[in-house]
């Protein structure tokens, strides 16, 4: 196993704030063994801090109560103790621990906490560049993706199907499309 190295960020030093209006945190999970349910989290925040040496660190929070799968009944069930137990654990967090190059892209390593359980995750990260913005200051864009196992985070409800298989798959694909603005 190779150890992680920290690389310089391709964006200028400073604090970059995630713009929730121009960003999306989404997920997909197998449903009934034949299709996928997709959803988003509508409330989240975070910062990317790049130090004077160009080394980035990321902190983000997701309000799990803001889950949106376009089905109110399903969303209420996901917020319940069967899944997120959002009353007891209302926030999921990500704190980066390292970043390393992966060809032309990056791997962002960090600690992800969901339902009170913290696990190391790697996000495949693509840097989309920077832009002067539209009069509000410089912006940067990123896309990231990871796959987690829900059972690793204590979301271990089993809902078997009569003919075999389960209602909800174990693997959750998380996708992020992030636009961040440099703070003055």
SS3 state of residue 40: strand
Confidence of residue 166 (pLDDT cuts 50, 70, 90): low
Question: Could you tell me the residue ranges of all domains in the chain?
Answer: 14-182
φ/ψ of residue 152, rounded to 5: -65, -20
The CATH class given to the 14-182 domain equals: mainly beta
121: its two tokens = 């995750």
Beta-strand runs (E) in the chain: 14-18, 24-31, 35-41, 44-50, 56-63, 67-68, 91-102, 105-114, 117-131, 139-149, 168-182
10: its two tokens = 């391709």
CB 42 within 8 A of CB 141: no
pLDDT of 89: 98
- Give residue-wise pLDDT tens across range 33-43: 777 999 999 99
What mean pLDDT do residues 2-25 have? 82
- Give residue-wise pLDDT tens across range 95-136: 999 999 999 899 999 999 999 999 999 999 999 988 888 878
Q: Which residue is associated with the tokens 């996000």?
A: 123
CA distance 100 to 71: 38
Question: For residue 153, is pLDDT > 60?
Answer: yes
């Amino acid at each position: 196993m190779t150890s992680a190295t920290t690389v310089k960020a391709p964006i200028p030093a400073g604090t970059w704030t995630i713009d929730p209006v121009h960003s999306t945190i989404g997920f997909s999970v197998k449903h009934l063994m034949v299709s996928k349910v997709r959803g988003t989290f509508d409330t989240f925040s975070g910062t990317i801090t790049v130090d004077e040496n160009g080394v980035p660190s990321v902190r983000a929070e997701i309000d799990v109560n803001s889950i949106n799968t376009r089905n109110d009944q399903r969303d209420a069930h996901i917020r319940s103790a069967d899944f997120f137990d959002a009353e007891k654990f209302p926030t999921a967090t990500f704190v980066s621990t390292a970043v390393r190059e992966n060809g032309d892209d990056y791997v962002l390593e960090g600690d992800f906490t969901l339902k009170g359980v913290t696990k190391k995750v790697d996000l495949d990260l693509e840097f989309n560049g920077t832009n002067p913005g539209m009069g509000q200051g410089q912006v940067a864009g990123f896309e990231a993706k990871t796959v987690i196992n829900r059972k690793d985070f204590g979301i271990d409800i089993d809902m078997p199907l009569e003919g075999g298989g389960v209602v909800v798959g174990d693997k959750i694909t998380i996708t992020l499309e992030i636009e961040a603005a440099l703070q003055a």
